[in-house]
Structure 1
């Protein structure tokens, strides 16, 4: 167990499945007190039962600023502080730009990018007070763009830009900013895709390699947060060994 994380208060968004759930469980196993938020709040009770430590479940929609502020306030009220924010909530609705359903673009921008920004904004006063850490779960799509993934990639590039500006603003005040960029991970993310051709392409891609598991990304988050306070691991890129792009 990493004693650096013992007793730390962590808020994890998008915690109802996949990377968010695995990260919450891993941090709880390290002795952190964890608040978990998601729109599918019913799933969080199962997570709380599996966690070895104290877990607060929150009905959270990151696209709603009032919901975000309430989640942060509830976390601080329950645990007395907020030391770490893990921004994980996200959608991947890939598809070609021509003939796209642009409401899907809006959903991705609001969830992946604005939701991340809203949560940082609400949490930042507490993180500054406690010299905390922001972890932004991004993607290899924040580095490399492929046809059919333009808007999703735009949200992830946006997270990178926002996070670097944030880092420059708060690092001298002791707040660390970490971007974690997973490659192909076996999660529900592919099932969000409504375009049948893109969904099948993603399914075949996943079947062609030894994909990452959510726990692999959770381990990267634990590593970054668990470093001594004077060490800032600002960026972690994690791909499956078999992934070429």
Structure 2
């Protein structure tokens, strides 16, 4: 995927979790920059609506990113219909919040499966195409990949996992001329974040973050930054940009978070007991349609 004035023109780009939220915004931005977009998600009706609103050539597939056979079939159909992908964005994700000791094992597992296993299944499906096209794989991660937070154990574990997965994959495929990038993003204006604010456990989590870290960013802005990173084959992209500085202090973050939690959690729980949120957003019945949920 050589760099040119229009590096995405005519290229095939795959976006998972494309039914809504950031995934839908990514699909639109990629299409506006000339890519043929394959939209993957769990909600066929909503995927159709997103596809019909895009310029240029696009198509959609209803598939669960954790279903290896389903992803294999979708990959074969994408190649036959659009051509081999040059860009793959692993965006599909879900979140839940609440005390780990009281969490539902099935919900907790589902978050890890979609966010981490789903990203690996996405890479496995499309890596042969990226080898052939010398393409680029973008893993959507989170501030939660850098610093974990209480009451978000599944989300934080899964996002730390996708960061490590992307680093390992980058080293493994570099000699095959495939680029691997990691997108570190903070609160983004999706249905998952709006749903999160209805739950005390996550509302308080955001309220206790430093003021710049509380800001919710428009999906179009985040998508624009991420697609620019795709065009430039960047190894990392941070939205907002100040997130990059957290890499310098990430070793110091766990003891600070523990100290604050030890002081604040008992007080907060006394006023409004924390409870499990279940899967967040309109994607709660499936894999979700767009990142990002609370970044932790």
CA contact (8 A) 2:197 2:203 kept: no
Tell me the equivalent position of 2:287.
none
- Structure 1 unaligned segments of length 5 or more: list them: none
Question: CA distance change for structure 1 residues 121 and 25 in 2, over 3 Å: closer, same or farther?
Answer: same
- Larger Rg belongs to: 2
* 1:31 pairs with one of 31, 34, 52: 34
- Residues 106 and 67 of structure 1, relative CA distance in 2, 3 Å threshold: same
Correspondences of 1:1-245 after superposition (within 5 Å): 2-190=5-193, 196-201=199-204, 209-227=214-232, 232-239=233-240
Equivalent-residue separation in structure 1 for 2:231 and 2:203 (angstroms): 38
**Structure with greater contact order relative to length (CA < 8 Å, sep ≥ 6):** 2
Using a 3 Å threshold, how does the CA distance of structure 1 residues 240 and 149 change in structure 2: closer, same or farther?
farther
Structure 1 distance, partners of 2:197, 2:18, is 22
Distance 1:61 1:101, change over 3 A: same
Which position in structure 1 is the counterpart of 2:291?
Answer: none
**Conservation of the 8 A alpha-carbon contact between 1:69 and 1:119:** no
> Could you tell me whether the CA contact under 8 Å between 1:92 and 1:193 is conserved in 2?
no
Alignment deviations for residues 183-222 of structure 1 (CA, whole Å, 9 cap, x no partner): 011111236669943244368689x754111112211221
Residues 45, 204 of structure 1: alpha-carbon distance in 2 compared, 3 angstrom cutoff: farther
Task: Give the match's secondary structure for 1:5.
Answer: coil
Provide the rounded CA distance (Å) in 1 between the counterparts of 2:208 and 2:132.
44
Separation of aligned partners in 1, 2:101 and 2:84: 47
- Unaligned 5+ segments in structure 2 are 247-295
Counterpart CA distance in 2 for 1:240 and 1:188 is 23
Q: Secondary structure at the match of 1:56?
A: strand
Give RMSD over aligned pairs: 2.4
TM-score, normalising length from structure 2?
0.75
Question: Residue 14 and residue 205 in structure 1: after superposition, are their counterparts in 2 closer, same or farther (change >3 A)?
Answer: farther
Contact 2:8–2:33 (Cα < 8 Å) also in 1: yes
Q: Distance in 1 between matches of 2:78 and 2:63?
A: 12
Output the TM-score relative to the length of structure 1: 0.90
Q: Distance in 2 between matches of 1:114 and 1:195?
A: 28
Give a deviation string over 1:151-208, Cα, whole Å, max 9, x none: 21110010011111100011121100010011011111236669943244368689x7
Task: Please say which of residues 144-153 and 8-17 is displaced more in the overlay.
Answer: 144-153
